[in-house]
Structure 1
Amino acid sequence: MGKTIVSWSPVKGQGCTSNTAALAAVFALNYQVNSLITHTQFSESILEEVFNKAHKMVGFDSGLKALERLAKSVLLKPEAVIDYTETIYNNRLDILGGSQTHQGDMEILQTLLNVTKEAYDLVWIDTETGPPNEMTEKVLKAADVILVTLPQNKFVLDRFFTQKEYPAFLDEKNVVYLVGSYDPEAALSVRKIKGNYKLKNKVMPVLYSHLFNDAFNTNSLTEFFHRNKSVSKKHPVYEFTDGLKTINHFLAKQVDLVRKGDDEEE
């Protein structure tokens, strides 16, 4: 049975989806595991676009909508999932997208996500941002690891942590807080965030990179990460990708997918 890493942000527009896409891509290129990235929407998500797969997923037999038909017919088996996905990195990362249709049945979607765990070693799930709806809450509660993306913004952090604007069940889950578009020169550092709010959870930065943003906005993430898999320390994208590798190194341990030699890297 595979593990799930579920991404969520209480605030829209903070880079939750872009962080999920970046981490999943870098993980796939550095770990020899069969992984899947998907989302909780039957309708098309931005994920399909940024990996340049949206045009291949339009039609009757693609993505979550196709699997929904199998599930309703009691014909859905784990080995069938791969037939309805698109490849991002061969034998490393697939994407299961939605379609340009209405939202599907919540119980069916939960069944589909459970089946994907049987078909893949690791499943990355991007959920809707903002206050969690019933579907988002169910997926978060079932996750092995939850990634919560927050901005480097004191007012938002105050509301979230001090005024308790977060789901109470997060206290019982394995949560990693990601600070998106992180500026290491800013006064509100990761260390201060963790100290100010007395957080016991891991707090990790996702650095801002204009090169990554350009790739995201031009739907070319697949090529971007493949091209920049190994770059020198002087390369302008090095600190960004190295930070993603650090996060993934921690996540790999949380989901028991540690590579040989990783323990020696501590």
Structure 2
Amino acid sequence: MLVAFWGPVHGQVNTTSNMIAIATMLALDHHIRILLTHTHLERSTLEKAYSKLRQVERDSESAGGMDGIYRLAECNMLTPERVRDNAESLVKNRLDMLAGMTSGDSHKFKSILPEFIKQAQKPQAYELMFVDVSSGTRNELSNLVMEQADLIVVNINQNKSVLDPFFNRGEDWPEVLNKKPVIFCIGSYLRASSMSRNRIAKEHKISMKHIGYVPHHFKYLDAQNEQHIIQFLMKVRSVKKKFLSFNEDVFFTEAVREMGKRILTSLEILPPSEEEMYG
């Protein structure tokens, strides 16, 4: 199953950050094989966030990642197993990352994209593939991925100057959103804002089951900057909720898990959780 993470504007809706939190939490909570990648033609926040876990710094001559995928696809040698061979393990047997193409050549990327998506979604490869695509409506690679996606996660914020033009379905609204399953994710969510999830859902006629958020959390921002995402999420997911007491870690964890559940429900995927596997 392919999930495209997209946003209407660049740099304001936390698309990559949201995808990292949701996918990593899903991998920690469930026995499910997930691949993370992106279509950006430059070094991405995705790769930077996991830098300390990456096994080796790869040069352009010996690169795996999307460069390796390109070479295999050119020779008609791409298989599900070789997709996995070119990915880097982040959580063993659960979460892998495929680094982006270093050449910055969109024509190369476009030429291999259909075959890559086909092979990566086979049972021998991954059950879920999350692809962070460039914002806006004019990026050809983004449009190609969204056309093939089983679900599109539209990342938005709490800024009316972004929300109103987008939901007016003008030029900022991709046509593909009218024919694909869509859920909305509010990035860097501030619960004290008057532009709450409920208000956004009501004003723009979104079902509550199709909109969630990833809260603003300074510890999560620090974890990205310091490249210890997995350690941070493992720590906050173990924090227990206390009666009548607000805890920022619990609020963050619950919201991210809810977004993960929305994705799995939309795709009708029911993987066993850690608790179900081990009691």
Question: Same-fold call, TM > 0.5?
Answer: yes
Q: Distance in 1 between matches of 2:167 and 2:142?
A: 20
Q: Pick from 169, 181, 193: which aligns with 2:200?
A: 193
Deviations 1:54-110 (A, max 9, x none): 672522231000110000001111111111111110011000112532223302123
Q: Which residue of 1 aligns with 2:38?
A: 39
Q: Pick from 128, 140, 144: which aligns with 1:138?
A: 144
- Does the Cα contact within 8 Å between 1:29 and 1:229 map onto a contact in 2? no
Q: Distance in 1 between matches of 2:47 and 2:96?
A: 11
- 1:260 Cα deviation from its structure 2 partner: 5.1
Q: Pick from 61, 64, 74: which aligns with 2:63?
A: 61
- Does the Cα contact within 8 Å between 1:57 and 1:99 map onto a contact in 2? no
1:149 aligns with 2:147: no
- Does the Cα contact within 8 Å between 2:65 and 2:101 map onto a contact in 1? yes
Q: Distance in 2 between matches of 1:45 and 1:187?
A: 32
- Does the Cα contact within 8 Å between 2:9 and 2:136 map onto a contact in 1? yes
Q: Which residue of 2 aligns with 1:264?
A: none
Letter in 1 for 2:165: R
Q: How does 1:170-189 map to 2 (within 5 A)?
A: 170-189=177-196
- 1:219 Cα deviation from its structure 2 partner: 1.8
1:246 aligns with 2:258: yes
Q: Distance in 2 between matches of 1:228 and 1:250?
A: 20
Q: Which residue of 2 aligns with 1:12?
A: 10
1:258 aligns with 2:270: yes
Q: Which residue of 1 aligns with 2:210?
A: 202
- 1:173 Cα deviation from its structure 2 partner: 1.1
Structure 2 residue runs without a partner (length 5+): 274-279
Please give the TM-score of this superposition, normalised by the length of structure 2.
0.87
Q: Distance in 2 between matches of 1:151 and 1:116?
A: 31
Q: Which residue of 2 aligns with 1:237?
A: 249
Q: Distance in 2 between matches of 1:179 and 1:20?
A: 12
1:128 aligns with 2:134: yes
Q: Distance in 2 between matches of 1:132 and 1:231?
A: 42
Aligned CA-pair RMSD: 1.9
Q: Pick from 227, 232, 235: which aligns with 1:227?
A: 235
- Does the Cα contact within 8 Å between 2:22 and 2:260 map onto a contact in 1? yes
Letter in 2 for 1:58: R
Letter in 2 for 1:69: R
SS of equivalent residue, structure 1 residue 247: helix
Q: Which residue of 1 aligns with 2:276?
A: none
Q: Distance in 2 between matches of 1:116 and 1:138?
A: 16
Q: Which residue of 1 aligns with 2:174?
A: 167
1:214 aligns with 2:222: yes
Q: Distance in 1 between matches of 2:57 and 2:45?
A: 12
Q: How many residues align?
A: 259
Letter in 1 for 2:144: K
Letter in 2 for 1:130: G
Q: Which residue of 2 aligns with 1:89?
A: 91
SS of equivalent residue, structure 2 residue 214: strand
Q: Distance in 1 between matches of 2:67 and 2:169?
A: 39
Q: Which residue of 2 aligns with 1:111?
A: 115
- 1:163 Cα deviation from its structure 2 partner: 5.1
Please give the TM-score of this superposition, normalised by the length of structure 1.
0.91
Structure 1 residue runs without a partner (length 5+): 262-266
Q: Pick from 73, 77, 82: which aligns with 1:71?
A: 73
